[in-house]
Amino acid sequence: MSEKFWYKVARVMIKAGTFPLPVTDTLIELIKVLLTEEQGNFILKTYRRKPSLNINEIKKISGMDGQQLDKMLESLMLDGIVVGHQSRSTGIMVYRLMPLAPAGIFEFTFMRGKSGEKELKLVKLFDRLFDEFGEATQRNYESLIPQFKKMMSPISRVVPVEEEIEVPQEIVLPYDEVSKIVDKYEDISVSYCYCRHEKDLLGEPCQVTDERKNCFMFGKSAIFAIKYGFGNPVSKEKAKAIIKKAADEGLVHKAFHIHQDPNKDEEAFCNCCKCCCGISQLYYKGCVPMSTLANYLPKVNEDNCVGCGTCTEKCPMEAITLEDDVANINEDMCIGCGVCAHICPENAIKLEFHKREVFVPPPRLKN
C-alpha cells in the first residue's frame, strides 16, 4: 500500500479521538506495526465518517458479512484497536474505533503487561511520537493554546483521596467517594498500569510505586477487558484495597467516563503518578494542556504548617511552593487530587469543596 493510503488511515484514527496528533513518518510507521494492510483498508472504508457503528451499519458500509466480518472484528478487538459492546437500548452490538491516545490504543497496547518484540518496537514509536507532538505544540504555542482551550473538553475527572473529603451537607457528591464508585459495579477488572509498563519498557521505572496492576475498568468495559485478556476480574474489596494503597503512596485517582462525558457512568479508573501517567507526560512534554474536572481545593493552615516540603515533592502538578517556610498553593494549577492533604505529616492541609474545570496550559520548554 502507498504512503497516501496509510496517511488516510492515520487521519481516520486521529479523528476517532480528541487530541490533534500530527501525521508524521513516526505515526505512519506506528500504524503499520499496529495494523495489517487488510485491517487498515477495513478501518479506512468503515470508520471514515464516524468512530462508532453498530453491526448492521458495519455490514452495509464494509460489504462484509458472516465469518469474514467476524474474523476481522475479532482480530481488531484482540489488539485493542476496536472495542465492541452490546447497546443497552437496542441489544445490538456496537463497535467503536479507539483513538490512538489517550484512553485508547496506547493503553490497550500495554495493558496486558507484555514485553515482546512488538511491544518494544511500539513503545519506542509512541515515545517518539509524543516527543514530536510536543515539538509541534511548542513551535506553534501562541496560536495553539487558545485553540486547545476552545476545542478540548476534560477527558477525566479527578477523584480526591476519600479520607480527606468533608462534603457540605447541602451538596450531594456521592461519587466523589472512591468506595461508592466501586460499589456501583458488579463487573470490575484490574489491569497492568499501561503507563508504568510503558516506562518499564523504556528503562524508566516508576519513582513512586512498585505496584503495577492498579488500573480498573467497570461494567461493559470490564467485561470486554476480561473476555479479551486485557484484565482480570477483581472483587470490590480487593479493588478498594488496591486503591487505598495507591492513595497512601501519593497516587492520583482519575475517573474516565463513557464517551468522555462526565455525565455518564465511569468506565475506567486509574491511579496516576507524575512520572508515568500518559496524560501527565503529554502535559510535561509540552504537548497539550492539563484539562480535567475537579471538585476540591486544598487550604493550608499556616499555624500548623512547618515547611517540611513533603507536599511540594508529592504534588503531581508542581502547584505548591514554600514561601517563608509555609506551603503556598497555586489554585490555578491545582487539580484537587488531595494528595497534599493525605500525605501532610502535620495535618496542615484540608480539602474544601470547589467545583471547577481545570485548564492548565502546557509549560513552555526551552529549546
Return the SS3 of 271. strand
* Largest interatomic CA distance in the chain: 71
How far apart are alpha carbons 31 and 9 in whole angstroms?
8
**Per-residue pLDDT tens digits of the chain, which is 367 residues long:** 688 999 999 999 999 987 778 899 999 999 999 999 999 999 999 999 999 999 999 999 999 988 999 999 999 999 999 999 988 788 899 999 999 988 889 999 999 999 999 999 999 999 999 999 999 999 999 999 998 888 777 778 888 876 555 544 343 343 457 888 999 999 999 999 999 999 999 999 999 999 999 999 999 999 999 999 999 999 999 999 999 999 999 999 998 887 777 778 889 999 999 999 999 999 999 999 999 989 899 999 999 999 999 999 999 999 999 999 999 999 999 999 999 999 999 999 999 989 889 999 999 987 6
List domains and CATH numbers for the chain: 3-145 (1.10.10.10), 146-360 (3.30.70.20)
What is the secondary structure of 317-331 as a DSSP string? T--EEEETTEEEE-T
How far apart are alpha carbons 274 and 280 in whole angstroms?
6
Return the SS3 of 293. strand
Query: Of 204, 217, 206, nearest to 267 (Cα)?
Result: 217
Pairing of strands 93-97, 82-86: antiparallel
Can you give the pLDDT at residue 170? 40
Handedness of CA 154, 158, 159, 160 (dihedral sign): negative
Can you give the pLDDT at residue 175? 43
Can you give the pLDDT at residue 164? 59
Count CA atoms within 13 Å of residue 226 on its CB side.
15
Can you give the pLDDT at residue 169? 39
Can you give the pLDDT at residue 173? 40
Q: Where are the alpha helices (DSSP H) in the chain?
A: 3-15, 25-34, 37-46, 55-62, 66-78, 105-110, 117-139, 141-151, 178-183, 194-201, 219-227, 236-248, 278-284, 310-314, 339-343
Amino acid letter, residue 81: I
How far are the Cα atoms of 61, 154, 233 from residue 66, in angstroms, in the given order? 14, 39, 31
